[in-house]
Amino acid sequence: MQLAELCTDPVVLSCAFLCLLLHLALRSSSGRGRGRLPPGPPGLPILGALPLVGPAPHAGLAALARRYGPIMYLRMGTAGVVVASSPAAARTFLKALDARYANRPAVASAADITYGCQNMVFANYGPRWKLMRKLASVHLLGARALADWACVRREEAGYLLRGVAEAAAAGRPVVVPEVLVCALANIVGQITVSRRVFDAQGDESNSYKDMIVSLLTGAGLFNISDFVPALARLDLQGVQAKLRRIHCQFDGLITKLLAEHAATAADRARRGRQDFVDRLRASMDAGADDESGETITEVNIKGLIFDMFTAGTDTSSIIVEWAMAEMLKNPSVMARAQEELDRVVGRGRRLEESDLPALPYLQAVCKEAMRLHPSTPLSLPHFSFDACDDVEGYRVPANTRLLVNIWAIGRDPATWEAPLEFRPERFLPGGAAEKVDPLGNYFELIPFGAGRRICAGKLAGMVFVQYFLGTLLHAFEWRLPDGEEKLDMGETFGLALPKAVPLRAVVTPRLVPEAYA
């Protein structure tokens, strides 16, 4: 059911009297005499501005920001939401006010899929979150851990190459997100629980991919239950029921993997090999952390595995897919990237991660894809329990959610020349964005967010995107299937932003046969 239809739905109207009273009370208590709210649309009774954001909230909020400004305040149901839509506005909230907005709002959608927010991504800022973040960084996502697991990425890139080469030999189009998600899920599986999740890309891995897409799409919807809690029991859009079903599927997968992992603990101990879960369990068995005094639980371990499989597979594959789609639209970009790969790597071997620093144009292509098609279009919501009295001259009330419109920032014409054009050259030496990197230091390009809650996997994400995009470009020629002259570039909004129509392409090997062995 669309939000606009909910405004006249008799069930909503019959259940909304208390919400209306609360809405009016909150509006009154915002206190004009205590400071001026940022500008924003007046909205409707009960639902506020919810119907105004439309089916693609990142684009709807960007359109509203063009009218009301880069710092915008909206009343959505009973919740106050402030939206930052420019680099300067993002810097204000994620740097100057970073500590105040480091929490997450309590929303039903997140709780339903993350074991009651016992994971790292949706946990509130505090000692337990800091411990989970520390463990993930030291043992899985930091620079040293990434180097330790490079052999796993190389192995899975080999499986990917052979699978795509087999499709080429059989004359079958390659569905780009399907082969990527299979490879990335196997990487996550090996480094977390010491096993490949899928033997090969096929029905099982495709079902997993569909589950991830449905989960991230559903969790990213502007669910009326999250903004009007009194209506949560009704689940008017069916979002919570769907997410609970998917969570049960995902929990079944995680539970099975952890049970198999426990059964092989003795073998790993004999070989002296520890994976991420082994190290998490060792931390749990050791008791309270010396610095925080906190410990993690079995539920936290499940939550962390959930984070790795969701954020570690679909988000990276989305960027690679968008980059490939843009290059199919812009053949000169693909030709230049392949020329660089041939010059640096040659056609006698496959791409190695050690080659990546010598490939500035490939890096620029990745940055441009992250700018134009960020995998997380709206930052995961931040939350402040406290009022902020001086936000660029405005007062933001306590208990306000913060959304940073990363998608709008990447397309801001005040920041980017020809923002809707795919121009990797802007990131090359001499380009306007030569020094801009996507790791949270330059607010013009923040695909991983910024500040305390920046994505813990930002380094891993960069390696995944560059290595797997480079591998596919280097090893194969790409073209659209016969009869598909126009590429559909539509989006599907959610926590992530995949292509609405998955990218299909026909490939031809371009390396010596031994490179695919």
Most distant pair of Cα atoms in the chain: their distance: 74
Q: Which of 95, 102, 98 is nearest to 124 (CA)?
A: 102
| Cα–Cα distance, 456 to 226 (Å, whole number) | 25
* Residues 6 or more apart in contact with residue 417 via CB below 8 angstroms: 426, 432
Instruction: Tell me how crowded residue 477 is: count the other CB atoms within 10 A of its CB.
Output: 14
Yes or no: say if 81 and 403 are a contact pair by the CB < 8 Å rule: yes
SS3 149: coil
Beta bridge partners of 81: 74, 401
| Cα–Cα distance, 338 to 340 (Å, whole number) | 5
* Residues 6 or more apart in contact with residue 146 via CB below 8 angstroms: 459, 460, 463
Instruction: Find where tokens 């505090």 sit.
Output: 126
Beta bridge partners of 84: 71, 404
| Cα–Cα distance, 310 to 378 (Å, whole number) | 17
Tell me the CA distances in angstroms from 359 to 11, 76, 477, one per residue in order: 58, 46, 18
Burial class (CB in 10 A: 0-12, 13-18, 19+), 172: middle
| Cα–Cα distance, 374 to 372 (Å, whole number) | 6
Beta bridge partners of 401: 81, 383
| Cα–Cα distance, 157 to 349 (Å, whole number) | 13
Q: Which of 387, 386, 320, 313 is nearest to 36 (CA)?
A: 387
Yes or no: say if 194 and 268 are a contact pair by the CB < 8 Å rule: yes
Beta bridge partners of 491: 499
Q: Which of 314, 115, 355 is nearest to 215 (CA)?
A: 314
Q: Is 455 annotated as a binding residue?
A: yes
| Cα–Cα distance, 266 to 430 (Å, whole number) | 56
Yes or no: say if 83 and 408 are a contact pair by the CB < 8 Å rule: no
| Cα–Cα distance, 357 to 487 (Å, whole number) | 31
Detail the residues annotated as belonging to a binding site: 455
Detail the residues annotated as belonging to a binding site for heme: 455
